[in-house]
Amino acid sequence: METVAKLNDSGIALTEANRPYDAIPLFRKALRMEPENPLLWLNLGIARQKTGDYQKALKCYQRSVYIDDDMAESWGAMGLIYYELEQFDAAEECYQNALERDCNSPKIWNNLGVLYFSQKDNEAARRCFERALSLLPMYYDALFNLRDTCRELSDYRAAAEFERILHGLGRDGGSH
């Protein structure tokens, strides 16, 4: 028997395996069983976002927070979409809403820092990346972003230290 939990778990696995088109029907089926489940709406939104359908993803996230306003992850996901759509004021508002609900999310702090960095507010970006690292000290994306921010702020000593840490983690590539 298919349960909401099994459908949700299978949908998450498919989404994480980069098969969001296969995941969407599972989340929709689960939502027919539990239409007021905010986590299912969040997961459907994540799958829709992976397909590039930002408008439908936004509607899913909005439905999630309509049902449960405390869904910090949904607020953060909306912020990311608005950032990608270059609607920076809306992105910042969503990130702030997410942090009001979960001030201990390194991912949301990092994403807010990226927003500030993209707007050349490097001091605010640095504070966000530092906060993310205070919560998760070896968070690669925040280390990478903080290194770049320190370079922009001409704090080359700090940038070199973050470069040393990143090298020690042995990962190439980037964030932002």
User: What are the structural domain ranges in the chain?
Assistant: 106-176
Alpha helices in 136-174 (DSSP H): 140-152, 156-169
The DSSP annotation for 31-96 comes to HHH-TT-HHHHHHHHHHHHHHT-HHHHHHHHHHHHHH-TT-HHHHHHHHHHHHHTT-HHHHHHHHH
CB 115 within 8 A of CB 83: yes
List, for residues 83-137, the tens digit of each pLDDT value: 999 999 999 999 999 999 999 999 999 999 999 999 999 999 999 999 999 999 9
**Could you give the percent of the chain with pLDDT greater than 70?**
97
CB 126 within 8 A of CB 153: yes
Measure the CA–CA gap between 31 and 100, rounded to whole angstroms.
Answer: 27
Site of tokens 């099994």: 6
Quote the tokens at residue 3. 């349960």
For residue 31, pLDDT beyond 50: yes
CATH superfamily of this structure's domain 106-176: Tetratricopeptide repeat domain (1.25.40.10)
For residue 173, pLDDT beyond 50: no
User: Can you give the pLDDT at residue 69?
Assistant: 95
pLDDT band at 176 (very low <50, low <70, confident <90, very high): low
What does each C-alpha distance from 171 to 47, 137, 165 come to in angstroms? Answer: 27, 16, 10
List, for residues 135-167, the tens digit of each pLDDT value: 999 999 999 999 999 999 999 999 999 999 998
Measure the CA–CA gap between 101 and 113, rounded to whole angstroms.
Answer: 18
Q: What is the mean pLDDT of the chain?
A: 95
* Cα 48 → chain centroid: 14
Using a cut of 0.85, tell me whether the model's pTM lies above it: yes
- The mean pLDDT value for 37-55 works out to 97
pLDDT band at 1 (very low <50, low <70, confident <90, very high): confident
**Could you give the percent of the chain with pLDDT greater than 90?**
93
pLDDT band at 168 (very low <50, low <70, confident <90, very high): confident
Quote the tokens at residue 163. 């470069």
